[in-house]
């Protein structure tokens, strides 16, 4: 039920680097949310046409969604952790990364022919 989706203007690194990034994001999201990693989904979209601050310098937009509520302390810790990781793996400056956190009602999240609520 937790989802982390990364969109970036950066060209895709090699397949192994992408797989490593996604696996790391998955494990960290499970840890931060306290949800089983078996329910975590990750997505990576490279080479997206994007601007930030009116420039075409490397930029990244991250969506994190989860059923239930994420506390302010959780979102702050995730912002720090994921910004650092994206900076290290993709070379995007942390001040050019936006992260959107969204809580979802269980009834609004479908899976396996049903919902979580």
**pLDDT per position as a tens digit, 42-86:** 999 999 999 999 999 999 999 999 999 999 999 999 999 999 999
Structure-token match 């310098």, residue found: 57
The number of domains in the chain is 1
CB atoms within 10 A of CB 67: 21
What is residue 2's three-state secondary structure? coil
The domain that contains 24 carries what CATH number? 3.30.429.10
Per the annotation, the verdict on 2 as an active-site residue is: yes
Helix segments in the chain, DSSP class H? 15-33, 72-90
Distance of alpha carbon 55 from alpha carbon 46, whole angstroms:
17
Rg of the chain's alpha carbons, rounded to an integer? 14
What per-residue confidence (pLDDT) applies to 108?
Answer: 95
Instruction: Name the pTM for this structure.
Output: 0.94
Which two structure tokens, joined as six digits, stand for 104?
A: 């979802």
Considering 2, 13, 36, 72, which one is annotated as catalytic?
A: 2
Q: Structural domain of residue 45, as residue ranges?
A: 3-115
**pLDDT per position as a tens digit, 2-40:** 999 999 999 998 999 999 999 999 999 999 999 999 999
Nearest CA to 83 among 74, 73, 72, 93?
A: 93
């Amino acid at each position: 039920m937790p989802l982390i989706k990364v969109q970036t203007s950066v060209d895709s690194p090699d397949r192994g680097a992408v797989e490593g990034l996604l696996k790391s994001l998955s494990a960290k999201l499970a840890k931060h949310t306290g949800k089983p990693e078996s329910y975590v989904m990750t997505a990576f979209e490279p080479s997206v046409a994007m601007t930030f601050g009116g420039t075409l310098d490397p930029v990244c937009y991250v969506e994190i969604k989860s059923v239930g509520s994420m506390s302010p302390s959780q979102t702050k810790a995730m912002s720090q952790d994921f910004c650092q990781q994206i900076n290290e793996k993709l070379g995007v400056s942390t001040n050019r990364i936006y992260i959107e956190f969204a809580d979802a009602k269980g009834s609004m999240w479908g899976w396996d022919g049903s919902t979580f609520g």
